Structure 1
Amino acid sequence: MANENTPAEADGGLTKLGRLDRAAVLLMSLGEKDAAEILKHMGPKEVQRVGTAMATLNNINQTQVEGVVAEFLEAVSGQTGMGLGSDNYIRNMLTQALGNDKAGALIDRILLGGNTTGLDSLKWMEPRQVADLIRHEHPQIQAIVVSYLDADQSAEILSNFDEKVRLDIIMRVAALEAVQPAALHELNDILERQFSGKAGAQTTSIGGVKVAASIVNFVDSTMASDLLEQIKEVDEDLGIQIQDLMFVFDNLVDVDDRGIQALMREVSTDLLVIALKGADPMVQEKIFKNMSKRAAELLRDDLEAKGPVKVSEVEGAQKEILTIARRLADAGEIVLGGGGEAMM
């Protein structure tokens, strides 16, 4: 990614931009159509984070833009008047990417700070907000909400409840198979009271042991261990089923080489270094052997040079990589070994 500038000139404040800000600058530089195509491949949480970063960008100079573009190996020469932070740009881009309904919900949250409607609106909310919303509702309603949302968001929602409630919810999630219209009507009534919106009520498959395992998989490791033990105390067979279906970072050793190589193409070096700091040596070797000799040497050097990293940061990086792995598995691009295959 070299250019003719000196390192100091090439940086131009680039190091001050975090990963989200860099992604936002890159999307803003691509134009609405191309940026929209990229956003189509992101999940709700990713779109919200990047969209918020775009909406709050300020004081971005051209040197920083060029540095970001060079870093991502893209050419944006001539696009100097981007109008960073433009509300119209963000509205048009998100509408192209998500359609009017979903974009409207996200635009309200990013640009207007407004509320959204319907069950899908919960996907755009912070986990603590969702927890507060359902805290005093019937446990079965809580289980339906947790089952419906993405596993990582649901795990954060559970962390806002005490142990007894967490256990009750996850047990109910594991027992769910299909939700009847009456239950969805009740849930929609709750949402309408909060958001004054409309939502449909059709029977749908939701929950189950696999969903419960996926949620527990995203819970903090200590909390997950405690929760599994509590589940086993109530229903040992169910606890074992959930444990068998969980896929953790160390299980990457069971993924075939082709799958690891596909996964590595989607993971940034910075994220990988942090994740491997606390990984089992067998996982590290699995990663190294599926890289070129030069790339593996550089990664080893980065690991040695990396100073102490907080356990929370390591776990966060590992969960990000697991999220990517599950996305690739859902798309049929890789097969997760062991319990991971059942997580799809």
Structure 2
Amino acid sequence: MATNNQTAKQAMTASDGNASDVNKTSGLERSAILLLALGEKDAAEILRHMGPKEVQDVGLAMASLTGVSTDQMEAVMHQFVSTLEKQTALGLGSDEYIRNMLTNALGEDKAGGVIDRILLGRNSKGLEQLKWMDPRGIAELIRLEHPQIIAIVLSFLEPDQAAQVVSQFADRVRTDVIMRIATLDGIQPVALQELDEILEKQFSGASNVKSSNLGGVKTAAEILNMLDGAVESKLMEEIIEVDSDLGQELQDNMFVFENLIDVDDRGIQALLREVSTEQLLLALRGADEALKEKIFKNMSKRAAEMLKDDLEAAAPAKLSDVEASQKEILQVARRLADAGEIMLGGGGDEFV
């Protein structure tokens, strides 16, 4: 049963990026509809094979669903079955296969961090359990550790979760930790295994860490991207004051909402399929006219006119709410970029 549900989870992930004329809902919404259709027992089995971020996202999507029609349900089930029929188990479970495949697809430089995160995440227990914890709880757990240890732990977390943890620290600690993440050039497997075991003793189980390529400028930039705008600006000022070259390198690798202007039309269209109108309406309050026009031209004429009217009629919104909505859209953009569906224009030709 577990194997079947794991395959089902893989098929859900595969169908997530496929646009369909019969289905205008996002991939996340389709996954939510499918899980609701399967019933509690089977849905729970599938969720068991997902990571904490995936569980949170799909759970929120399920809670937000209203008025799902029979036609929508049938369309989602048909697409899922069609995708599932194309799945095989060939090549699964082989570390060497995964390494070679990703290296050939992405190149050695780009694939390194992805490979290590996949294999380390699979084998780790102590560090992995942090991903399920509340950011405040993680901060309390590592607050008294050496800043280098904190930097390693944060490098292992997803950028948005790491950003929430960083927000719990004092300003001085934030600056120190971010700079250490940016200059972190991997860690010896033995040292990482010891850290994993220390954390695991506070939980349970055993570990077998085999990978060590954590940290770096890109990781630090992704965490900075997820911070509150005011916190991010202050941190960058302090980093530039201490090390102007590092500050510039971080800025070069950061991708902000305004950078969406550099995404091609096909990428914008893919992004719009995954973003709700409410999210977009709030995010565009703080966008310049050039970006707004790019968004409008990649929508249907009727949808663009409706969005323009809504923007003109909308009441003032808090800057913090606008920034939060923009960061949520950037998270979707990065997910699509990681899946190879769009290419983000910030930081050269890197997929971020």
TM-score relative to the length of structure 1: 0.71
Residue in 2 that maps onto 1:190:
198
Indicate if the aligned counterparts of 1:255 and 1:336 stay in contact, CA closer than 8 A: yes
Show CA shifts across 1:132-185 (max 9, x none).
111111211111111111111111110000111111111111111221133213
Q: In the aligned structure 2, how far is the partner of 1:37 from the partner of 1:189? A: 28
Shift in CA distance, 264/137, structure 1 to aligned 2, threshold 3 Å? same
> Is 1:335 the equivalent of 2:328?
no
Indicate if the aligned counterparts of 1:217 and 1:224 stay in contact, CA closer than 8 A: yes
Residue 233 of structure 1 is aligned with which of 234, 241, 251?
241
Residue in 2 that maps onto 1:308:
316
Which piece of structure 1 moves more, 319-328 or 117-126? Answer: 117-126
1:262 aligns to what SS in structure 2? helix
Indicate if the aligned counterparts of 2:270 and 2:342 stay in contact, CA closer than 8 A: yes
1:1-344 mapped onto 2 (5 Å cutoff):
26-31=33-38, 44-48=52-56, 50-51=58-59, 67-70=66-69, 73-75=72-74, 117-339=125-347, 341-342=349-350, 344=352
Which piece of structure 1 moves more, 198-207 or 151-160? Answer: 198-207
Which piece of structure 1 moves more, 26-35 or 204-213? Answer: 26-35
Shift in CA distance, 25/331, structure 1 to aligned 2, threshold 3 Å? closer
Indicate if the aligned counterparts of 2:126 and 2:198 stay in contact, CA closer than 8 A: no
Deviation at 1:192, TM superposition (A): 2.2
What is the percentage of aligned positions where both structures have the same residue?
Answer: 59
Shift in CA distance, 268/52, structure 1 to aligned 2, threshold 3 Å? closer
Indicate if the aligned counterparts of 2:343 and 2:351 stay in contact, CA closer than 8 A: no
What amino acid maps onto 1:31 in structure 2? L
Higher RCO (C-alpha 8 Å, min separation 6): 2
Deviation at 1:332, TM superposition (A): 1.2
Shift in CA distance, 72/226, structure 1 to aligned 2, threshold 3 Å? farther
Q: In the aligned structure 2, how far is the partner of 1:169 from the partner of 1:40? A: 33
Residue ranges of structure 2 left out of the alignment (5+ in a row): 1-28, 76-123
Q: In the aligned structure 2, how far is the partner of 1:198 from the partner of 1:23? A: 36
Shift in CA distance, 334/72, structure 1 to aligned 2, threshold 3 Å? farther
2:67 aligns to what SS in structure 1? helix
What amino acid maps onto 1:176 in structure 2? L
Q: In the aligned structure 2, how far is the partner of 1:118 from the partner of 1:43? A: 15
Deviation at 1:75, TM superposition (A): 4.5
Residue in 1 that maps onto 2:110:
none
Deviation at 1:211, TM superposition (A): 0.7
Q: In the aligned structure 1, how far is the partner of 2:191 from the partner of 2:50? A: 30
Q: In the aligned structure 2, how far is the partner of 1:138 from the partner of 1:341? A: 35
2:73 aligns to what SS in structure 1? coil
Show CA shifts across 1:216-265 (max 9, x none).
11111111111111111111101000001100001111111111111111
Shift in CA distance, 72/254, structure 1 to aligned 2, threshold 3 Å? farther
What amino acid maps onto 2:321 in structure 1? E
Residue ranges of structure 1 left out of the alignment (5+ in a row): 1-21, 58-63, 77-115
Q: In the aligned structure 2, how far is the partner of 1:342 from the partner of 1:41? A: 29
Deviation at 1:53, TM superposition (A): 8.6
What amino acid maps onto 1:120 in structure 2? E
TM-score relative to the length of structure 2: 0.70
Indicate if the aligned counterparts of 1:245 and 1:343 stay in contact, CA closer than 8 A: no
1:179 aligns to what SS in structure 2? coil
What amino acid maps onto 2:148 in structure 1? Q
Deviation at 1:34, TM superposition (A): 8.6
Q: In the aligned structure 2, how far is the partner of 1:69 from the partner of 1:233? A: 53
Q: Compute the RMSD of aligned alpha carbons.
A: 3.1
Deviation at 1:193, TM superposition (A): 3.1
Shift in CA distance, 322/70, structure 1 to aligned 2, threshold 3 Å? same
Residue in 2 that maps onto 1:103:
none
Q: In the aligned structure 2, how far is the partner of 1:41 from the partner of 1:303? A: 41
